[in-house]
Amino acid sequence: MAAHATATRRGGPADPPSPTRDASGAPLAPRSAADRLLSVIGAFDLEHPALTLTEISRRADLALPTAYRVVAALTAWGALERDEVGTYHIGLRLWEVATLAPRGLGLRHAALPFLEDLYETTHENVQLAVRDGYDVLYIERIFGRSAVGVRTRVGARWPLHATGVGLVLLAHADTAVIDRVCDGPLTAFTPHTITDPTLLRRVLADVRATGCAVSDRQITDDAVSVAAPVYGPHGDVLAAVSVVVPAETTPAHTLVPVVRLAARGISRALGRPPR
């Protein structure tokens, strides 16, 4: 038995790292209290909006007793809420604090009248988004019951290269961001998704030259997105606005003027001087 155990340690599969050591066996720095709190909050996402304590423990990579203490503290403060069956959800107190983000509530308030005008003009899905790292993050959406179905929602993230708003935000991002995205991988969602880095760079150059982007059936086979940039008072692109229409019935070029008009209106509301 001893010989077999020795052989396994020398030549067999390696044991998984312990919670206190990394894959090389080096000791890990102790996790701070703030790190444990953030890991619990970060366990929730669009695919996991409700979690049991055991699921939180697993997704946050915390021992169950530690997860219990952290969850209890967050629940007492209001960052988490526990329903009648014992499942936890993000709490209203955390939402209240999140609304203070300048790229969230303030931008949405300035944009909403123009988004509503764009919706009344098109009666199609209207969206407002910002860039967060290498993703596009949707912060507002107006949709009609008869509009084409979309896979986005407020709070959803998508890769920059595959959406109209994402192409606008990527086109106006720093060179380092563009290079990182173009270096891939470029995920394909449909046969029409841009996955060629050279083609993507050409599309981004066209977006900068024309002031708008058209994402043709890149996320779903039945939808086209037309987007334009929203500028801040110093000329930097803060956000992008788009309208999503059925691919087979609405020519994208007919929507470019109204989307640009909405984007210019939002930009002026944010302090962008008239051009």
Residues 87 and 147 in one domain: no
Q: How many domains does the chain have?
A: 2
Whether 21 and 147 share a structural domain: no
Q: In angstroms, rounded to a whole number, what is the distance separating the alpha carbons of residues 42 and 134?
A: 18
| Phi, psi for residue 148 in degrees, rounded to 5 | -60, 145
233: CATH: 3.30.450.40
119 lies in a domain? yes
Asked if residue 62 and residue 135 are part of one domain, the reply reads no
Mean of the per-residue pLDDT values of the chain: 83
pLDDT at 98 over 90: no
Residue 274 inside a domain? The answer is: no
- pLDDT of 235 higher than 60: yes
Q: Confidence class of residue 32 from pLDDT cuts 50, 70 and 90?
A: confident
pLDDT per position as a tens digit, 146-196: 555 566 677 788 999 999 999 999 999 999 999 999 998 999 999 999 999
Residues 47 and 69 in one domain: yes
Q: Do 79 and 125 fall within a single domain?
A: no
> 152 with 138: CB under 8 angstroms?
yes
- Looking at the fold, whether 107 and 222 belong to one and the same domain comes out as yes
Last residue of one domain, picked from the residues 79, 96, 113: 96
Residue that is last in its domain, among 51, 75, 96: 96
Evaluate whether residue 275 is within a structural domain. no
Query: Which tops the pLDDT comparison, 155 or 269?
Result: 269
Residues 28, 46, single domain; the answer is: yes
Last residue of a domain, one of 96, 125, 145: 96
Domain assignment of residue 144, given as a range: 102-269
Query: Are 206 and 114 in the same domain?
Result: yes
Q: Dump pLDDT digits (tens) for 195-231.
A: 999 999 999 999 999 999 999 998 888 889 999 999 9
> Based on the domain organization, do 136 and 236 belong to the same domain?
yes
Q: What is the pLDDT of residue 147?
A: 54
Strand ranges of the sheet holding 50-51, from the earlier edge strand across to the other edge: 50-51, 88-90, 80-82
Query: Residue 54 falls within a domain, yes or no?
Result: yes
Let me know if residue 120 belongs to a domain: yes
Q: Is residue 195 part of a domain?
A: yes
Whether residues 80 and 109 share a domain: the answer is no
Question: 103 pLDDT band (50/70/90 cuts)?
Answer: low
